[in-house]
Structure formats: structure tokens, C-alpha cells
Structure 1
């Protein structure tokens, strides 16, 4: 398969991924099961590498940090630390996550307040308006959806009929034209050809990722933990 590179850092960082995993697993941010989170975090890193995504170094630094914390928690505490409660190896990471979560929430509130002062204008009729309650999807929501497709592929019987080469550019054009002609949002899974090869699944995903990154398409959920929908991006 040809290497297709899409930069990840324009979407989110490692703290965003950790917050995503905490929310997805409905965990207490102050009592993170480090073994579970480390396993899932490393799985995301493996998927991003398999997709030939350019992974920012901070993702790998965080992976090393998680493995270090996990190893410390597996080691027996020294006798002197048993007598008096020792420091939780997760403490520094938890503090960073809590502060970052507060920062993100404050940024969202400021953004919403700023929008209240923007003059109202009429958008072109052909553009699809965002509905109240929609949850914008980030990179990790997209990877979640891809994981489900890949799992489904593992249990279904696939037959390669043709060796026709699938290019990223052609797939981007195909997807954009399909969404441009759609009057409503399309389910994420419907954009993938039934019984597609693993290569075509990955190329289709990368094409979607690039179109979303460039602001031509947007992906969102209608409910928390609900399926993903894809539509044209709103006009600027």
C-alpha cells in the first residue's frame, strides 16, 4: 500500500486522547485505571501508525509516561511508604488532565460568548445548517468508527475481485462529490464500499480525514456515544 500521510496534530493532542478514553469508558478522572487506559492508548497509537499518520512526538512521550506510571504501580511500595501513604504515581498526570479539561471547557464557553456578538447573516440555501445538540467528532471518534469497520471486516467473508488501485486523490473527489449532492448528512459507515478490501477501507478513511481537516466536510454525533454522521462543512 502506498504511504498516505495526514498530519494528526491539527486535530488533537495526547491529553485529548486520554480525556476521550476516560469519557468513552465513563471513568472517574481522579481514579484512572492506568492499565486499561495504557492498553487502549497504545492501541490508538498502533492504529495511527498503521494508517501512516504523522504522529506528533508528544503522543509517543505520553505513551512512555503511561508505561512508566503503570510499571511504578505494579511494583511493591517500599516499607517506609507503606507506613505512611505514599504519593500516587498518577497524581501529576491527573492534575494535568484536570487542568487541561478546565482549559478546554473555558475555551468553549468563551467561543460561545463571542458568537453571541457576531452579526447574523443568511447562509446560501444549499448549505446544511448545524443542528442544536450535534457533537463535533474529533480524530479519535473517527478512529473509533474505523475500528468498528475493521472488526466487522475480520468476521465477514471478503473476496478480492479486482486489483484496481485506489488512490487517495480519487477517493477524496468521489466522497466530496457524493456529499455535495446529498441533501442530508450521510452515516459514516455508508461511505465505505460493502465488502471493500482492507486497503480501500483505509484509503477511504484517510480521504475523509483529509477532507475534514481541510474544512470541506464535517463529522458529528447526534447523541453521546452515537454513530457518526458526515456532511458538507458550513460555508464561512
Structure 2
């Protein structure tokens, strides 16, 4: 029987993920440990694959570059010198990557500044017939797919120590069922903390079904995930009704009905 397929597209690219990881390290780009960065990058790619998210080829190219850099760093010092001498005619891949990150960060910062400027102009621009609406306060920064993956990975680690089998018998959780559960929760509450969705989860499959349901609701613009502070708690709230996309949620078998590679997320 076919599983429920969440059509969540990752719009962020590999440089976005690298900048996200650098910010988490709280170090200057020029001082980042590329060996550790490579390990973390691969972990995020594996997470995306295990949740059946589309991983663009650019991520795989970047992963190969990072693994090459990592392999060089792990060589004995004398071998590192020889490799660098062999590559002296070309640019050191480490510095090439750092340069790309610096340039991309400049681009991202400039784009953010333009967005903020546009928002300021919208607030002061005089309209002939101003809209009647209540001010909902300042707009909070939205959580990225990498923020969401990092948060759910921390929750999945709870089950890693239990050595659960890849196939879980009699696990009734489905993505469509969890979609309705989340909708019900947000009808009764204006805001939820991300971790609250998983507080009572009893299996990895339940965590996976809940997370996929959340991604689907975000894709359908029925839920907004915000992060008031950098790398802080992710908060969930219902999106305005006019922003939502129409969708039909098909039936699908329980998350534990048959082998599922999603159950191996770590």
C-alpha cells in the first residue's frame, strides 16, 4: 500500500544550509571548522532523505566537496603538504568554499535589507482608502526548513537510545490523522510550541507522521512556523484563511503498516 506523500519542496540551497550551520557554531566564517561542518551537513541531507524530501543535486555536489575537504584535513600532516603541492595550480577548495559563503552572505544580507526597506515604505505610504484592519504586531521571523529539521532531529534522538526496530507493529499513526489533530489543536489555541506536538509521542513513527503532517500544513499555508529568537523555540499558529491553499488529504495506511524507511530517521 502506498504511503501518504508530502509534496514539500525545499527552496533553500546548500549555501543556505552552510550559513545556517555556521550561525549555529557562532563563529566567523573564516574561522569555521570545515571538518565538523561537513559532518553536520551530511546529517541534514540524511534527515531530508529520511523524511522523503526532495534533495536537489546541488546539495549532493556540496556534500562531495565537503567530504573531499574533510578527507584532506584528516590526512597526516606530511600527506596534507603533498596534496596541497599537487593542487597549488588551482584554488584551495577550502578557501574557495569560504569565499563562496562570504559572497553569498553579502547577497543574503543585501536582500534582507531591501525587504526591510520595502516593509518600511509600505508602512509610511499614504493610500487613498486605507484598509481597515487590526494591527497584529511586528512580524516574527519564519522558521526555515533547517530550523524545523534540527528541532525534530532533537526529538528523534529520544528514541535512538531505545534501539527501536525499523518496522513497528500495530502503530496506528497516519499523516492524515495527524493533520486533523494539529488543526484541532490550533482551533482551540492561538499558538503552539513546536515541541508540544511531540510531547506525548510514543514511537519514532508517530514523530515522523506528526512532522510530515506539519510540513504539509505549512506547504498548504494553513500554519505559520515562526522563531522569535535565533535558534530559539519554534512557535506554530494558524495562518490567515485567505492565505491557505485548497487541498484534499487522501487516506493512507498507518505509519507502521509495512516497512518504512522514514522510521530510521536519526
TM-score range, shorter chain: 0.7 to 0.9
CA deviations on 1:46-99 (whole Å, 9 max, x unpaired) are 1111111121111111101111222233342139959x9x95431111111111
- Asked whether the equivalents of residues 18 and 37 of structure 1 are also in contact (C-alpha less than 8 Å), the reply is yes
Worse-superposed segment, 137-146 or 45-54? 45-54
Worse-superposed segment, 188-197 or 1-10? 1-10
Q: Does 1:198 align with 2:204?
A: yes
* 1:155, distance to aligned residue in structure 2 (A): 4.8
Which residue number corresponds to residue 178 of structure 1? Answer: 185
CA deviations on 1:36-55 (whole Å, 9 max, x unpaired) are 00111111111111111121
Aligned partner (choices 84, 100, 103) of residue 99 of structure 1: 103
* 1:195, distance to aligned residue in structure 2 (A): 3.6
| Cα distance in structure 2, aligned partners of 1:121 and 1:130 | 16
After superposition, the Cα gap between the structure-2 partners of 1:79 and 1:226, relative to the gap in structure 1 and judged at 3 Å, is closer
Q: Does 1:121 align with 2:138?
A: no
| Cα distance in structure 1, aligned partners of 2:16 and 2:83 | 37
Which residue number corresponds to residue 40 of structure 1? Answer: 40
Which residue number corresponds to residue 167 of structure 1? Answer: 174
- Asked whether the equivalents of residues 219 and 231 of structure 1 are also in contact (C-alpha less than 8 Å), the reply is yes
- Asked whether the equivalents of residues 6 and 215 of structure 2 are also in contact (C-alpha less than 8 Å), the reply is no
- Asked whether the equivalents of residues 172 and 211 of structure 1 are also in contact (C-alpha less than 8 Å), the reply is yes
CA deviations on 1:137-189 (whole Å, 9 max, x unpaired) are 1011111110111122345799xx98253322232232123213313x21101
After superposition, the Cα gap between the structure-2 partners of 1:117 and 1:199, relative to the gap in structure 1 and judged at 3 Å, is same
After superposition, the Cα gap between the structure-2 partners of 1:65 and 1:4, relative to the gap in structure 1 and judged at 3 Å, is same
Any gaps of 5 or more consecutive residues in structure 1? none
Which residue number corresponds to residue 219 of structure 1? Answer: 225
Q: Secondary structure at the match of 1:105?
A: helix
Any gaps of 5 or more consecutive residues in structure 2? 244-266
Q: Secondary structure at the match of 2:44?
A: helix
* TM-score calculated relative to the size of structure 1: 0.82
RMSD: 3.0
After superposition, the Cα gap between the structure-2 partners of 1:81 and 1:164, relative to the gap in structure 1 and judged at 3 Å, is closer
Superposed, 1:146-161 pairs within 5 Å as: 146-155=152-161
Q: Secondary structure at the match of 2:236?
A: strand
- Asked whether the equivalents of residues 187 and 230 of structure 1 are also in contact (C-alpha less than 8 Å), the reply is yes
Residue-pair matches, total: 226
| Cα distance in structure 1, aligned partners of 2:23 and 2:44 | 15
Bigger RCO of structures 1 and 2 (CA < 8 A, at least 6 apart): 2
Which residue number corresponds to residue 2 of structure 1? Answer: 3
